[in-house]
């Protein structure tokens, strides 16, 4: 199977449970982490910008359990049991987009969001920024589409159509704009 169609995760993989201070408390399957109200687990979100300062957005694949078809940040996932955050972020960038990127950690936060009967996200999420220096080859099992948007266009679209974006992406982007603008400005005109 070619990389554009490779299956890169499963509901059985073990994720890292954490407390509100990001201290590991155990492990649980990806499926169980997202059942019901969810169990707090470690996650990450990556925002990559091209040379024009535009953010690469992904539209989640239709077969995703949570928020299928919604627009979100460049890459988001979880480190697996025994996996460090640097290893997990690079693994996932390669799995989803077939690229590598130098990443800068910006902040982390906990959130919980329910998606009806399908389950919930309950994550302590580490947020990273980086530059996109390569052409991407999206994994069609992960993405329905990709596109680039300038920050102003993104803010306008989020205001006009907030329901088309994932809840974590909206929280993260607004925090980057409001609280971490100095860091964001290193990657894009904002």
Side-chain-side CA neighbours of residue 73 (13 Å): 25
Considering the candidates 33, 75, 76, 125, report the single residue annotated as catalytic: 76
Strands 55-60 and 120-131: unpaired
76 is catalytic: yes
d(C-alpha 30, C-alpha 13), whole Å: 6
Annotated active-site residue 33? The verdict is no
Residues 6 or more apart in contact with residue 156 via CB below 8 angstroms: none
Candidate list 123, 125, 142, 172, residue with the active-site label: 123
Helices (H), 65-150: 85-97
Nearest residue to 167 (alpha-carbon basis) of 45, 83, 62? 45
Task: Please list the active-site residues.
Answer: 76, 123
């Amino acid at each position: 199977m070619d990389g554009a169609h490779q299956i890169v995760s499963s509901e059985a993989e073990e994720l890292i449970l954490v407390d509100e201070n990001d201290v590991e408390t155990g492990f649980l399957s990806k499926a169980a982490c997202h059942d019901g109200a969810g169990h707090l687990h470690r996650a990450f979100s990556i925002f990559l910008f091209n040379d024009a300062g535009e953010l690469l957005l992904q539209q989640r694949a239709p077969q995703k359990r949570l928020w299928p078809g919604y627009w979100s940040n460049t890459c988001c996932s979880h480190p697996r049991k025994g996996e460090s955050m640097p290893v997990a972020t690079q693994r996932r960038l390669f799995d989803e987009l077939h690229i590598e990127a130098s990443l800068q950690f910006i902040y982390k936060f906990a959130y919980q969001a329910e998606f009806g009967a399908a389950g919930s996200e309950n994550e302590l999420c580490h947020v990273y920024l980086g530059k996109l220096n390569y052409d991407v080859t999206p994994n069609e099992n992960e993405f329905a589409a990709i596109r680039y948007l300038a920050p102003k266009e993104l803010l306008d679209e989020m205001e006009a159509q907030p329901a088309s974006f994932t809840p974590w992406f909206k929280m993260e982007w607004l925090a980057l704009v409001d609280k971490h603008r100095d860091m964001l400005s290193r990657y894009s005109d904002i």
